[in-house]
């Protein structure tokens, strides 16, 4: 039961500094995600969209 003891230890990654462009991009993504969630919720409230089941031939 030997563990990984030898070798270099990796330093913890420092959080990347975000500039104004990165912040604006993240904000835009969040807004788009909210819009998608709202549309999904709205679509779930309605019934199926013009879906027709498989038509089976009937006996005559």
pLDDT in tens, 4-52: 566 777 778 877 777 888 889 999 999 999 999 988 888 777 665 555 6
Angle at 1 between CA 4 and CA 3, to 5 degrees: 10
Give Cβ neighbours of residue 54 (< 8 Å, ≥ 6 apart). none
The tally of CA atoms less than 13 A away on the side-chain side of residue 53 is 3
Band (3; pLDDT cuts 50, 70, 90): low
Tens-digit pLDDT profile for residues 35-45: 999 888 887 77
pLDDT at residue number 34: 94
**Global confidence as pTM:** 0.44
Torsion of Cα atoms, 29 then 35 then 36 then 38, to 10°: 150
What's the rounded Cα separation, in Å, for the pair 29 and 56? 46
């Amino acid at each position: 039961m030997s563990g990984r003891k030898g070798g270099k230890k990796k330093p913890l990654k420092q959080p990347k500094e975000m500039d104004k462009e990165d912040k604006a991009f993240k904000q835009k993504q969040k807004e788009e995600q909210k819009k998608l969630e709202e549309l999904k919720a709205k679509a779930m409230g309605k019934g199926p969209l013009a879906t027709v089941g498989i038509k089976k031939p009937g006996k005559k």
